[in-house]
Amino acid sequence: MIGDDGLRVELEAPDISPWRDGNAGVDFVHRFDSGRPGPDAVVNAVMHGNELCGAIALDRLLRAGVRPTRGCLTLCFVNHEAYGRFDPADPTRSRFVDEDMNRLWTVDRLDAPAATVEAMRAKALRPIFDRADRLLDIHSMGTRSQPILLVHGLPKERRFARAMEYPPTVACGSGHVQGRRLIDYGPFNDPAADKIAVLVECGHHWSRETAVVALDSALHFLRSLDMLDPGFFREHVHDHSPAPQSMLDVTHGYTIRTDDFYFTARFDGLERFAKAGEVFAVDGGEEIGTPYDDCVLVMPNHRAVKGQRAFRLARPVAE
């Protein structure tokens, strides 16, 4: 079965129905209290229903009996309705039921009457995210890019990314043109608040390696919070000693202006262009080139259409 970008669907969507009856008052949400002081940490999966890697990671953690050594740990299958519609024969259709759930996270939208499956679910989950001190939102991508940890770019997020040590690339910058991501919601995006949310893009949606990255991301997230038994971490983590991190500052985001946009090559993401002026895309006949030397292309979207963000450009942060 071939999915987006011509990649075979290598992952099998786990049956998450055994996890429907949680203990947090909301379906598919499991909360574990250590009884000791510590962070209120949340790990999310399937914000988008066609992104399987997070579901695999949470399913494995739950089956392995993960428990926090301090604080509280919540594991959340976010958009289970969309995930339940996943079909490997047509793997892109189950991204959402009615609307993209990772564009809803503003107070105004959450306070408004819910008219979609995703809006109703967001309202139900809101108290969990309002309570959280630390959040990891697990995602995947439509290209074969190496994994990226995304943060808005606040100093507190950069410090936390360094402590997490995984994955090796961190991109700091704004999100999408339309709507707000969960990691941009409320106190998570307040420099004065001691709440932090990060989003990991684990790789191509259906690559086998993406599931490994998702589980490792969750384990390194919990390790950085000193919430995980070292023996549990060693037993389940794949990458015990991640490569040194590199951090990128996103400087530009490009929204497609016409119906005639294309990249000049099949870029996957994290390509580095040595010189300013190197052309990599065309929009309505107008060439788009790199604005400065040593420019990095972040998360090119080959499925984007007019009015949607097609890519971001970033500058490496000097160490």
pLDDT grade for 288, boundaries at 50, 70 and 90: very high
Pairwise CA distance, residues 36 & 318, whole Å: 39
Q: What is the pLDDT of residue 174?
A: 78
Same domain, 224 and 278: no
What per-residue confidence (pLDDT) applies to 3?
Answer: 42
Same domain (yes/no): 148, 287: no
Asked whether residue 215 falls in the same domain as residue 169, the answer is yes
The number of beta carbons lying within 10 Å of the beta carbon of residue 116 is 14
Are 19 and 148 in a shared domain?
Answer: yes
Domain end position, chosen among 197, 216, 244: 244
What pLDDT is attached to residue 318? 84
pLDDT tens column, 228-271: 999 999 999 999 989 999 999 999 999 999 999 999 999 999 99
More confident residue, 4 or 87: 87
Predicted confidence (pLDDT) at residue 27 exceeds the cutoff of 70: yes
Does 216 lie in the same domain as 290? Answer: no
Q: Which of 212, 229, 244 is the last residue of a domain?
A: 244
Q: What are the pLDDT digits (tens) for 195-206?
A: 999 999 999 999
Are residue 208 and residue 264 in the same domain, yes or no? no
The answer on 267 and 237 residing in a single domain is no
What integer is the mean pLDDT of 84-110? 95
Clarify whether residues 301 and 155 are in a common domain: no
Cβ atoms of residues 15 and 150 within 8 Å: no
What is residue 2's predicted lDDT score, i.e. its pLDDT?
A: 39
Per the structure, the count of domains in the chain is: 2
* Domain boundary, last residue among 244, 267, 288: 244
Residue 8 has what pLDDT?
81
186/37 same-domain check: yes
Host domain of residue 111: 4-244
Instruction: Identify the CATH number of the domain in which residue 159 sits.
Output: 3.40.630.10
pLDDT surpassing 60 at residue 1: no
Say if residues 100 and 122 touch (Cβ distance below 8 Å): no
Q: In the predicted model, what is the mean pLDDT of residues 66-80? A: 98
CATH number at residue 256: 2.40.50.630
Average pLDDT taken over every residue of the chain: 95
Shared domain for 238 and 270, answered yes or no, is no
| Confidence bin at 111 (pLDDT 50/70/90) | very high
- 186 in the same domain as 139: yes
One domain for residues 20 and 119 = yes
